[in-house]
Chains A and B, each alone.
Chain A
Amino acid sequence: KQEVTQIPAALSVPEGENLVLNCSFTDSAIYNLQWFRQDPGKGLTSLLLIQSSQREQTSGRLNASLDKSSGRSTLYIAASQPGDSATYLCAVSLSNFGNEKLTFGTGTRLTIIP
């Protein structure tokens, strides 16, 4: 059974700093990995998707990397802003066709201090 872990559970950093969020998964046979952002009481916003054949994806100040063999992904946020405060979730889908359901971690709650 795939298990996804995110460490730390919560993180506070001053505005302007760069930061890294971690995600690990137990079954390396993934199809893709998605990073999401969730604001309190809201739905999920997709940030980045990395296919299993890719090593990283970038969008603006965000960069996600994937090391499938070691079961790890990181989300790098550059020059953090107060608006980045949210919970960040990573999720993986398995490689079997027709089995694209996502398995999520419990998230990292990020607070950017102005």
Chain B
Amino acid sequence: DTGVSQDPRHKITKRGQNVTFRCDPISEHNRLYWYRQTLGQGPEFLTYFQNEAQLEKSRLLSDRFSAERPKGSFSTLEIQRTEQGDSAMYLCASSLSILVYEQYFGPGTRLTVT
């Protein structure tokens, strides 16, 4: 069990550029979640997958955001035409969909939009 991993850990980009983040969940976990955390706040839910199906998207996820989970394994979160307001920590979590649904988080990707 290697835990949830995220890549990159830090990303600095200029406003208007596209960025893509990757999340690798714990291997047997079929649920995968994305959250966003701004400074001094708790994480906010963005979207989640069960296997390859995206089951829910938050209203925070504007049209510039897209997430995928091909083959129900790793997931990618893409932000197009980044804005300074997108600067945040993007956290990925995974869980096993039996009874308890305990979520395990990765180290996060810190995005800075200049």
Q: Do A and B associate with each other?
A: yes
What is A's interface to B at a CB cutoff of 8 Å?
A: 4, 31-32, 34, 36, 41-46, 49, 51, 89, 91, 93, 98-107
Q: How far is the CA of A100 from the CA of B55 in the complex (A)?
A: 11
Selected A-B contacts with CB under 8 Å, 11 pairs: A32-B100, A32-B101, A36-B105, A42-B108, A44-B93, A44-B105, A49-B102, A100-B48, A100-B101, A102-B43, A104-B44
Q: Mark B69-83, 1 if CB is under 8 A from A, else 0.
A: 000000000000000
Q: How far is the CA of A42 from the CA of B6 in the complex (A)?
A: 12
Q: Chain A residues with Cβ under 8 A from B108's Cβ?
A: 42-43
Please classify the interface of chain A as helix (H, G, I), strand (E, B), loop, or mixed, using the class held by over half of its residues: strand
Cross-chain contact of A102 among B45, B55, B56, B100 (Cβ < 8 A): B45
Q: Is the pair A100, B42 in contact by a Cβ cutoff of 8 Å?
A: no
B54 lies within 8 A of chain A by Cβ? no
Q: How far is the CA of A51 from the CA of B106 in the complex (A)?
A: 22
Q: Chain A residues with Cβ under 8 A from B55's Cβ?
A: 98
Closest Cβ of chain A to B26, distance in Å, is 12
B41 lies within 8 A of chain A by Cβ? yes
Q: Chain A residues with Cβ under 8 A from B101's Cβ?
A: 31-32, 93, 100
B95 lies within 8 A of chain A by Cβ? yes
Residue in chain A with minimal CB distance to B41: A106
User: Quick one: which of B25-48 are within 8 Å of A by CB?
Assistant: 31, 33, 35, 40-45, 48
Given A99-B56, A100-B95, CB of A46 within 8 Å of CB of B102? yes
Q: How far is the CA of A106 from the CA of B106 in the complex (A)?
A: 19
Q: Chain B residues with Cβ under 8 A from A104's Cβ?
A: 42-44
Given A41-B110, A49-B100, A100-B31, CB of A91 within 8 Å of CB of B105? no
Cross-chain contact of A106 among B40, B48, B91, B104 (Cβ < 8 A): B40
Cross-chain contact of B107 among A42, A49, A99 (Cβ < 8 A): A42
Q: Chain B residues with Cβ under 8 A from A102's Cβ?
A: 33, 35, 43, 45, 93, 103
